[in-house]
Amino acid sequence: MARRLDYKDHRRELDANRYVYAVVSRRARGLSIGVNLNPDKACNFDCPYCQVDRTTPGGPSRVNVPDLAAELEDLLRRASGDLWATPPFDTVAPELRRVADVAFAGDGEPTTPPEFSAAARAAREARDRLAPGVPLRLLTNATLLHKDRVRAALAEFDELWCKLDAGTEAYFQLVDGTRLPFRRILDNLLLVARERPIVIQSLFLALDGVGPDDAEIEAWVSRMRGITAQGGRIDHVQVYTVARAPSDPRCGPLDAARLEAIAAAARAAGLGAVVYA
């Protein structure tokens, strides 16, 4: 679930981290602390717009939860102390010098590793102790939300941000690079949205210069309408596009007007929609 963010820190101290990284996010209005449970860069999607560099090998797939917790605790402590006096964070605008969230995102689907549940619990405990009030978010492609071990761990998170990039099976396969059944994603979104409100994250892009047509957007809206009609709750929809050049040269951004039109289609169905152009 690679995350679109503005700035990635490459200081040696954080580069020494295996699991926890920090980015300054104008969207989140502050420091977003990322937790990467996929240091091996493995993902069950193969989105052509993915910004994870898989031309270089990843690390071991096993997640060492105590190490992860130690990295997170260290960064949370420093964020209320010396971090802002240390380059490059000393250049961050004063109004952004706050921890905006702790987000499970990173270089693959975070719910995949068997350590997901233990990592979520450890992150929750660290957040409660060191940064109460900072939201703990899960960014997920929703493929595994039906698994008991995953569902049980969802309670650790304050917010679930779930990917939905398409309205039809064919377009889903194209833009998310998977043969996993689209029905499973939709069923999983409904399953979870019936228990608690979810945020839908939808990335729309131009592939070989062509974006999703109106029929695709209509189908996308009708999928979300289907969720709400069956008792699911969608807090809001985030509509965005590719930020930096992905490795796949077929991918390009949609313009702001098209993103606004897509968001307007969601709003017309009674959904709150925010555009990040």
Which positions touch ligand SF4 (CB under 6 A)? 1-2, 43, 45-47, 50, 52, 108-109, 141
Give the pair of three-digit tokens for residue 36: 């990467």
How many other CB atoms are there within 10 angstroms of residue 59's CB atom? Answer: 13
CB neighbourhood size of 168 (10 A): 16
Smaller CB separation from ligand SF4, 83 or 175: 175
Which is closer to ligand SF4, CB of 99 or CB of 167?
Answer: 167
**Smaller CB distance to ligand SF4: residue 50 or 131?**
50
Q: Which two tokens stand for residue 67?
A: 């190490």
Q: What's the token pair of residue 209?
A: 């210069």
Interstrand relation of 205-207 and 251-253 (parallel, antiparallel or unpaired) = antiparallel
CA–CA separation, 138 vs 150, rounded Å? 11
Q: Give whichever of 71 and 165 is closer to ligand SF4, judged by the CB atom.
A: 165
CB of 180 to ligand SF4, least distance (A): 11
Cα–Cα distances in Å, from 8 out to 11, 15, 20, 136?
9, 10, 12, 19
Query: 88 preceded by cis ω (within 30°)?
Result: yes
Smallest gap from Cβ 155 to ligand SF4, in A, equals: 23
Residue type, 47: C
Q: Which residue, 17 or 201, has its beta carbon nearer to ligand SF4?
A: 201
- Per DSSP bridges, beta strands 20-25 and 30-36 are antiparallel
Instruction: Tell the residue number behind the tokens 């350590």, with chain if given.
Output: 115
- Considering beta carbons, is residue 72 or 175 the nearer one to ligand SF4? 175
- Least distance from ligand SF4 to the Cβ atom of residue 257, Å: 24
Name which of 149, 148, 30, 154 is nearest 80 in CA terms: 30
d(CA 94, CA 105): 25
Nearest approach in angstroms of CB 75 to ligand SF4 is 22
Q: Among residues 149, 175, 166, 164, which one has the least CA distance to residue 199?
A: 164
